[in-house]
Structure 1
Amino acid sequence: MHSLRSSCVQTNVARLKAYRSNVVLFPRNVKKPKAGEASVADFRAVEQFKGPLQPTTVTKPALELMKVTKDMKEFKAYGKLRIERANARLVGVRAKKAKEAAAKEE
């Protein structure tokens, strides 16, 4: 899942860089243009673009097909999640009780 997220981030970064390369920022104050804004000659030479602005390409992830086994059918995911959440929540309490029991035995 982490690699899927990082590839989505990389795709988004590439898309934004391509967009930024095509954008012409008009200066708010023509007399004092800021860094990144177009000069007077640049923004006068730009013509209005009509058509699909930013074509997007969506790639579908490859799916792995497999047969559903008897073990998969019998697995209770919700119950397993509840047990694991309880184990994670009670790990400190159980460690404290085990420590007290070990101290009591000594």
Structure 2
Amino acid sequence: MVKHNNQVPNAHFHKKWATSSRGPLKVRTWFSQPAQKKARRLKRAAKAAAIAPRPLARLRPAVQCQTARYASKTRLGRGFTLEELKGAGIAPALAKTIGISVDYRRKNKSEESLVNNVDRLKLYKEKLVLFPRKGTKPALPEHSAPTTGPLMPLEKKVEEVEFVDLTEELTSAPAYAKLRQVRNDKKLVGIRKKIEEAKKADK
């Protein structure tokens, strides 16, 4: 232990920082991160300009986030399901060629998400302009600027909040006791049903 009011020794000698008798360098450095970030951005911009007016990104579906904490939020998913493509009248093989992402593993668990993504595909079909692969190259439209961001980004929904005046009935209601009663009723459904069936059998 150190004497007097000095710093407590906290030297980390377990890392092999340099080539020595203890072995080669084991600690990785990442000083090129800012330069690599800039290089990736320039590559994306160059690719977007080369394939313009075709967008760089693919069309992706709107899906709900995972877990109870984020389930209320919507984000872009991996790809559209076969059921969604069928509802929009698009073959899966054709979808890949016109900039639509397809996910063969995802399943639709609600009618609402199915309808929303089918409408998203139909809106994309209305805006889609296909150029012939053979023959003379057609003139590009005036608004054929390269796009690097997400295709048809999701709009943020602003939920309306309704305010009500507090009344005597609202303030005097036993909210906690009511919640416990509902929780107990849900918990004891099976037991109460079994008791009723036993009573009917005895009669």
Common fold: TM-score over 0.5: no
Q: Which has the higher contact order (CA 8 A, sep 6+)?
A: 2
TM-score (norm: length of structure 1) = 0.42
